[in-house]
Amino acid sequence: MDIKSLYLDELIDEMKKLNQPAFRAKQIYEWMHVKLASSYDDMTNLSKDLRGNLKESYPLTRLELVDKLVSEHDKTTKYLFGLHDKRVIESVLMKYRHGNSVCISSQVGCMMGCTFCASTIGGKERDLTASEMLDQIYKIQALSGERVSNVVVMGTGEPLDNYHNLIRFIRILTDEKGLNISARNITVSTCGIPDRIRDFANEGLPVTLALSLHAPNNEIRKKLMPVARIYKLTEVLDAFAYYYEKTGRRLTFEYSMAEGINDEEEHARELCHLLKGYNCHVNLIPINPIKERNYVKSDNKKIQNFKNILEKNRINVTIRREMGSDINAACGQLRKSYLELVDKR
Ligand code: SAH
């Protein structure tokens, strides 16, 4: 039983089994999700007996800090955390003028196989539980002393491939009796699984959804993302449009740019055509080359030119600031280099 992944009403039911009243369950919930206690010993308003009982029957998940890298450019901090089964995940704290943002992982590794991404090279090891996703935010708040206002599910893993845990995670994170982060301040990024996007739209959670598009057509997309061999762009975009219809949230498209692959003027024009009529925002990301693959980052002039073409077609577009590029901040790079080091030992 993973007590930190329970909704409050489930926790109340669970504590009934120990003959504990509802208010006791509420205290425990508050300790876990507001006061961010990392052990039962911190829960000083519970009796010693109860704490002992809980320790035995409901071990609390917690993350061990394995490594921490701070960028000299922008203070972006990358954390490597150990899980109870000795697997490792990474999370990132980014400081912006408008507040602090944490980027979390949703799985250990990833099975989607995007050809430019470090997270997927060793495949997927397992899904993360809701509590392990929450703990990344809780632990970063505790370690940094910073309040987190924005959460992006853009670290290792495909969140919609870990659907039920993701929903649980979002509901607890946005619970007014928990950390109470607004759903509007949460972004979930997906490689695009149409049925899951529709399910997600039906949850009634006003979360921002970002689609990893990366290409203006199926042919290029298939080269970059194996998932594009299963779902055509039209199917993914239809599901995405449904998401907008249901939630009213403006859609975000991520477009990572690699030299000679998807960064030509013709690609920009094709993209304009593809996105015509969507209330959307396009985020251009200079690809972050990983040593295992031969992709080269598009040069700034090309990216700027690409942006101009989109703007001329009245598409909202920004170039993503590269944060923490000096600290292995591309998806999965820190975890990957850590695992290689351990392998060599
Ligand atoms: N699986 C989800 C979320 C994790 S990846 C998804 O596909 O959206 C988060 C984003 O980073 C995705 O847009 C992904 O394509 C992009 N990304 C991963 N590795 C990258 C790299 N080396 N350079 C640029 N973008 C990368």
pTM of the model: 0.96
Residue nearest ligand 1's atom 12 by CA: 212
Q: What is the pLDDT of residue 121?
A: 92
What is the 174 CA–ligand 1 centroid distance (Å)? 24
Atom in ligand 1 nearest the alpha carbon of residue 254: 13
Q: Where are the alpha helices (DSSP H) in 90-232?
A: 130-144, 163-173, 194-201, 218-224
Atom in ligand 1 nearest the alpha carbon of residue 110: 1
What is the 117 CA–ligand 1 centroid distance (Å)? 6
Contact 320, 337 (CB under 8 A): no
What is the 29 CA–ligand 1 centroid distance (Å)? 33
E-strand ranges in the chain read 64-70, 77-82, 88-96, 99-103, 107-109, 124-127, 150-153, 186-190, 208-212, 251-257, 280-286, 316-319
Query: Ligand 1: which residues within 6 Å by Cβ?
Result: 112, 114, 116-117, 154, 158, 189-191, 212, 254, 256, 285, 287-288, 290, 330-331
What is the 257 CA–ligand 1 centroid distance (Å)? 11
Atom in ligand 1 nearest the alpha carbon of residue 112: 1
**Positions marked catalytic:** 90, 331
- pLDDT tens for each residue of the chain, 345 residues long: 899 999 999 999 999 999 999 999 999 999 999 999 999 999 999 999 999 999 999 999 889 999 999 988 888 999 999 999 999 999 999 998 889 999 999 999 999 999 999 999 999 999 999 999 999 999 999 999 999 999 999 999 999 999 999 999 999 999 999 999 999 999 999 999 999 999 999 999 999 999 999 999 999 999 999 999 999 999 999 999 999 999 999 999 999 999 999 999 999 999 999 999 999 999 999 999 888 889 999 999 999 999 999 999 999 999 987 777 677 666 677 787 778 877 666
Closest CA to 5 of 129, 148, 155, 185: 129
Domains of the chain from N-terminus onward: 3-57 (1.10.150.530), 64-344 (3.20.20.70)
Q: What is the pLDDT of residue 255?
A: 97
CA-based torsion, 98, 176, 140, 208: positive or negative: negative
